[in-house]
Every structure is written in structure tokens, then in C-alpha cells.
């Protein structure tokens, strides 16, 4: 509606008349607490190159809290949502980008952890108990891709990536077997390892067991290899590591093992990569460390995004794949970056 001069002056006079009335003051002050000053303290530059990936006026947004241990985010570009897990409650959750709301996607899902979408758009999930890698089909049914190796049950599949060929690679460290909390307490019958499986196989192929606690996994941007985090300090007197392997042409073999990052003060879990090949990894190490840590492809520490909770996993989300989605203990967060997910 367009106001004429007389109406405008009348409205101005009315506003002047109320002055600092309690009602107007309440309206003006109803926008929440005072926002953080830009740039927010969550950004921490460790190498000048990280300045190219942070945005001066990007806030850290906490969208939801109420989980017991949130994990395994995976972005669905068609539906514009992120699937993530609340492992102890055996729920798959859904964050909707358009509304910012979180809801329950599935209940009683076998304490699922890591999730991904394959190249046909089907959801693949790692379940702690029963220990298996599960695919959700378009008709609502499910297909068990892997649950045993050499006749023995898997430990507790943790994280997973999908290959263009239709195969998937998953880690199996066994965290869901250590307590009756994220699965079912039981003895591990297999070495901790990383596996490949596809629809043509009756059981998965072990790619490597040269890792203490294989945890998060992400493909390199060119698809010719992958990174896996080794959260060894949780059960061994070994440092945490991020390790890279090259993949064979069919994805069924690995070579050229390289330790990219070694840390005595930080445990790495879930990871993602940007288009430049940088590694964005969750970080667990106490105040000043908890959150996300970013490394160059060669392993140089570039920067951090600090969170008030331990971060478990990350993925790039949003139309531009430039919004970092973080599962962190009981909550989920996002922050816009100047990076773009691979």
C-alpha cells in the first residue's frame, strides 16, 4: 500500500505520540539476544590460506538439540534435506533446509550411524546392531548389502561412501559393540577393517585391516582414493590419524597407503572434502579443539570451526554445497563457507 503525504504525516505523529511506550519498546526488543559480532569467534585461522574459505559475516547456527549422540549426516540435493542419526535412540533424523526444522525420519533403525546416498539416490546406512550395511529401495523395502565376513558377524559398521559403479566402501571399527548404548555389547569376532561390497557379492571384500579403529571415511574429489580416520586413542596407545589410500580401478583393492595427519591431542571422526581437496574433519579434544578442523590435501592445518560441543561428523549441504552441516554430540549446527563440497 502506498501512503500519501497526509497519511504519512498522520502515521508519523501517531508514532511520536507513543514515544517510548512499553508496548513499542517490547516490540523493538523482541528479536532475541544480542547477536555475536562478526567475524564470529568460531572461525580460527591457522594458515593464511584458510581465509579463502571463511565468510566474514557467516554466523554459526544451532538448529536443534535433544539428541543423545548425533552422527552420520548425508545431504539429499533432490529433497533439500540432511539425514543424520541419533545412534543411542536408534533414530534417523531429517533436517529440512527450507524450514530449518528437524523431525524423525525413521525409528528403530538398528542404531544406525553413517549414512550416504548412492548414485541412484537411494539411502545407504551403517547399523550397529544388527551389524549390517543396509540400502533403502525406492519401493520402501530394504536390501542388506553386508552383515557377515567369512561366516562371522561384522563388528558394527560405522561410515560409508558410495562409488559410481554401484559398490560401497564402509568402515567397521566395532564401537556399537562396546556398550549397550549405541548397539549391543558383545565380543568382536573380526579384526577392525575397511570393506568393499556390491550387489554381485555374497560377502564383502576386505580392503585393509592396517588401521586400529577405522572410523570416518570420504572419497577424494577425483574418486581415485579415499581418506579414513583412525580413532585409535579410544582403545590403543596410538595417536589419531587420517590415512589416504588409492583405489584400484574396480574399487575392490587399495594401494599406496599414506598417513596424512597424525595427532596426539585430537581425535578425528567423520570427514568431508571440498572441491580443492581440503579435508574438513570433525574434531574431539576439549575446549579450543572441539568442532571442525580443516587440512590441506597434504595434511597442513589450515583452520578450525570451534563448537561448544564435541563434533562427530560433517557434510556439505545446500544448493551451492557451501553450507557445512555438523552433527555435534546432542545438537546439529550449520555455517556458510566459501568452500564448495566435492
Q: What is the pLDDT of residues 11-31, one digit of tens each?
A: 444 334 334 443 433 334 445
**pLDDT value at residue 217:** 98
**Alpha-carbon 234 to chain mean position:** 20
Is a pLDDT exceeding 90 seen at residue 148? Answer: yes
**pLDDT value at residue 32:** 57
**pLDDT value at residue 31:** 56
Question: How many helical (H) and strand (E) elements, i.e. helices and strands, does the chain have?
Answer: 2, 27
**CA 43 to CA 292: how far, in whole Å?**
10
**CA 202 to CA 291: how far, in whole Å?**
39
Is a pLDDT exceeding 80 seen at residue 94? Answer: yes
> Each residue of 153-201: pLDDT tens digit?
999 999 999 999 999 999 999 999 999 999 999 999 999 999 999 999 9
Is a pLDDT exceeding 80 seen at residue 204? Answer: yes
**CA 285 to CA 327: how far, in whole Å?**
16
E-only strand ranges, 38-101: 43-45, 61-65, 70-76, 81-86, 91-96
**pLDDT value at residue 220:** 98
Q: Is the pTM of this model over 0.75?
A: yes
Asked if residues 239 and 262 have their Cβ atoms less than 8 Å apart, the reply is yes
**pLDDT value at residue 35:** 79
What average pLDDT does the structure give for the chain?
Answer: 92
Per-residue pLDDT, averaged over 325-335, amounts to 98
235 three-state secondary structure: coil
> Each residue of 244-295: pLDDT tens digit?
999 998 999 999 999 999 999 999 999 999 999 999 999 999 999 999 999 9
Is a pLDDT exceeding 70 seen at residue 10? Answer: no
**pLDDT value at residue 22:** 39
For the stretch 226-250, what's the b/e string if a residue is b when 16 or more beta carbons lie within 10 angstroms of its beta carbon? bbbbbbbbeeeeebbbbbbbebeee
Band of pLDDT at residue 36, cut at 50, 70 and 90? confident
DSSP 163-232: -TTS-EEEEE--GGGSSSSSS------S--EEEEE-TT-SSPEEEE--SSSEEEEEE-TTSSEEEEEE-G
**pLDDT value at residue 234:** 97
Amino acid at each position: 500500500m502506498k501512503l500519501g503525504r497526509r497519511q504519512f504525516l498522520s502515521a508519523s505523529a501517531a508514532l511520536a505520540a507513543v514515544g517510548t511506550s512499553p508496548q513499542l519498546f517490547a516490540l523493538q526488543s523482541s528479536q532475541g539476544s544480542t547477536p555475536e559480532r562478526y567475524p564470529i569467534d568460531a572461525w580460527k585461522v591457522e594458515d593464511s590460506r584458510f581465509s579463502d574459505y571463511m565468510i566474514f559475516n557467516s554466523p554459526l547456527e544451532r538448529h536443534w538439540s535433544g539428541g543423545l549422540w548425533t552422527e552420520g549426516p548425508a545431504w539429499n540435493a533432490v529433497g533439500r534435506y540432511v539425514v543424520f542419526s541419533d545412534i543411542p535412540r536408534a533414530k534417523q533424523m531429517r533436517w529440512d533446509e527450507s524450514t530449518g526444522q528437524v523431525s524423525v525420519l525413521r525409528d528403530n533403525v538398528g542404531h544406525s550411524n553413517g549414512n550416504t546416498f548412492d548414485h541412484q539416490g537411494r539411502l545407504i546406512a551403517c547399523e550397529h546392531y544388527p551389524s549390517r550395511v543396509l540400502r533403502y529401495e525406492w519401493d520402501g523395502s530394504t536390501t542388506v548389502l553386508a552383515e557377515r565376513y567369512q561366516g562371522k558377524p561384522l563388528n558394527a559398521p560405522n561410515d560409508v561412501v558410495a562409488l559410481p559403479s554401484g559398490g560401497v566402501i564402509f568402515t567397521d571399527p566395532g564401537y556399537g559393540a562396546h556398550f549397550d548404548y549405541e548397539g549391543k555389547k558383545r565380543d568382536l569376532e573380526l579384526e577392525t577393517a575397511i570393506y568393499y561390497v556390491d550387489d554381485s557379492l555374497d560377502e564383502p571384500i576386505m580392503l585393509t585391516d592396517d588401521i586400529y579403529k577405522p572410523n570416518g571415511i570420504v572419497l577424494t574429489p577425483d574418486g581415485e582414493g579415499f581418506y579414513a580416520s583412525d580413532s585409535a586413542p579410544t582403545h590403543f596407545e596410538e595417536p589419531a590419524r587420517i590415512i589416504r589410500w588409492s583405489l584400484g580401478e574396480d574399487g575392490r583393492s587399495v594401494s599406496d597407503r599414506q598417513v596424512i595427519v597424525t595427532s596426539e591431542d585430537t581425535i578425528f571422526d567423520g570427514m568431508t572434502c571440498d572441491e580443492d581437496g581440503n579435508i574438513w574433519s570433525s574434531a574431539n579434544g576439549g575446549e579450543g579443539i572441539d568442532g571442525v578442523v580443516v587440512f590441506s590435501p597434504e595434511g597442513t592445518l589450515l583452520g578450525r570451526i570451534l563448537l561448544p560441543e564435541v563434533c562427530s561428523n560433517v557434510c556439505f549441504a545446500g544448493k551451492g554445497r557451501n553450507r557445512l552441516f555438523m552433527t555435534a554430540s546432542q545438537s546439529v549446527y550449520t555455517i556458510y563457507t566459501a568452500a564448495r563440497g566435492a
